[in-house]
Chains A and B, each alone.
Chain A
Amino acid sequence: MASRKESAASGSNPLDTPVKQIQIDGLVVLKIIKHYQEEGQGSEVVQGVLLGLVVEDRLEITNCFPFPQHTEDDVEFDEVQYQMEMMRSLRHVNIDHLHVGWYQSTYYGSFVSRALLDSQFSYQHAIEESVVLIYDPIKTAQGSLCLKAYRLTPKLMEICKEKDFSPEGLKKACIGYEHMFEEVPIVIKNSHLINVLLLDLQEKSTVADKHELLNLSSSNHLEKSLQLLMDRMDDMSQDIGKYNTYCRNLSKQQQQKQQYLQRRQQENAQRQSRGEPPLPEEDISKMFKPPQAPARMDTLLIAGTRGVNGRCSPSIKRLFLPAYSAGHWKFIVLCLKESIHELINSAMNGSI
Chain B
Amino acid sequence: MVSHCLCKRPPTSARGQQQESHGDLRSLSSSLFIIILHFLYEVMAVHGPVVKIHPVVLASIVDSYERRNEGASRVIGTLLGTTDKHSVEVTNCFSVPHNESEDEVAVDMEFAKNMYELHKKVSPSEVIIGWYATGYDITEHSVLIHEYYSREAPSPIHLTVDTALQSNKMNIRAYVSSQMGVPGKTVGVMFTPLTVKYIYYDTERIGVDLLHRTRASASRTNGLTTDLAQVASAAGRVQEMLSTVLSYIEDVLSGKVMADNSVGRFLMDLVNKVPKITAEDFESMLNSNINDLLMVTYLANLTQAQIALNEKLVVL
Contacts and interface: CB of A to CB of B under 8 A. Distances in A.
B249 to A, nearest CB: 9
A14 to B, nearest CB: 20
Given A186-B223, A339-B266, 19 more contacts: A1-B304, A30-B55, A34-B54, A35-B122, A37-B201, A89-B118, A92-B111, A94-B68, A141-B206, A143-B231, A176-B308, A188-B211, A197-B170, A205-B198, A303-B307, A309-B300, A327-B283, A336-B270, A346-B260
Contacts of B279: 328
Nearest to B214: A190
B257 interface: yes
Given A95-B67, A188-B224, A313-B300, A171 B315 contact: yes
B203 interface: yes
Contact of B115 (A89, A240, A318): A89
Interface stretch (A20-28, A121-129, A153-161, A286-294): A20-28
B103 interface: no
Given A177-B311, A340-B270, A350-B262, A145 B300 contact: no
B290 interface: yes
B271 to A, nearest CB: 9
Contacts of A309: 300
Given A318-B228, A335-B274, A93 B214 contact: no
27 contacts: A26-B211, A30-B55, A30-B56, A33-B56, A34-B92, A35-B122, A38-B123, A66-B123, A77-B121, A89-B111, A93-B67, A141-B206, A145-B206, A190-B220, A194-B211, A196-B165, A209-B237, A212-B206, A226-B296, A306-B303, A321-B228, A331-B286, A335-B273, A339-B270, A347-B263, A350-B262, A351-B248
Interface of B: 54-56, 58-60, 62-69, 91-92, 94-97, 108, 111, 114-115, 118, 121-123, 125, 163, 165, 169-170, 172, 198-208, 210-212, 214-215, 219-225, 227-228, 230-232, 234-235, 237-238, 241-242, 244-245, 248, 251, 257, 260, 262-263, 266-267, 269-270, 273-275, 279, 282-283, 286, 289-290, 292-294, 296-297, 300-301, 303-304, 307-308, 310-312, 314-315
Interface of A: 1, 23, 25-27, 29-31, 33-39, 63, 65-68, 77, 82, 85-86, 89, 92-95, 137, 140-141, 143-145, 147, 167, 171, 174, 176-177, 185-202, 204-205, 207, 209-214, 216, 218-219, 222, 225-226, 229, 233, 236, 240, 303, 306-307, 309-310, 313-324, 326-328, 330-333, 335-337, 339-344, 346-347, 350-351
B314 A318 contact: no
9 closest residue pairs by CB, A with B: A30-B56, A310-B300, A350-B260, A213-B234, A94-B67, A313-B297, A26-B211, A343-B266, A176-B311
A167 B310 CA distance: 13
A340 B241 contact: yes
Contact of A350 (B55, B242, B263, B286): B263
B304 A310 contact: yes
Contact of B212 (A36, A196, A202, A207): A202
The interface residues of chain A, by DSSP majority, are classed as helix
Contact of A141 (B54, B202, B267, B314): B202
Given A320-B290, A332-B274, A31 B211 contact: no
A306 B230 contact: no
Contacts of B223: 185-188
Given A30-B59, A93-B95, A229-B300, A140 B206 contact: yes
A229 B303 contact: yes
Nearest to B258: A350
Nearest to A320: B290
Contact of B63 (A33, A63, A324, A346): A63
A55 to B, nearest CB: 13
A210 B273 contact: no
Nearest to B69: A94
A198 B211 contact: yes
A189 B220 contact: yes
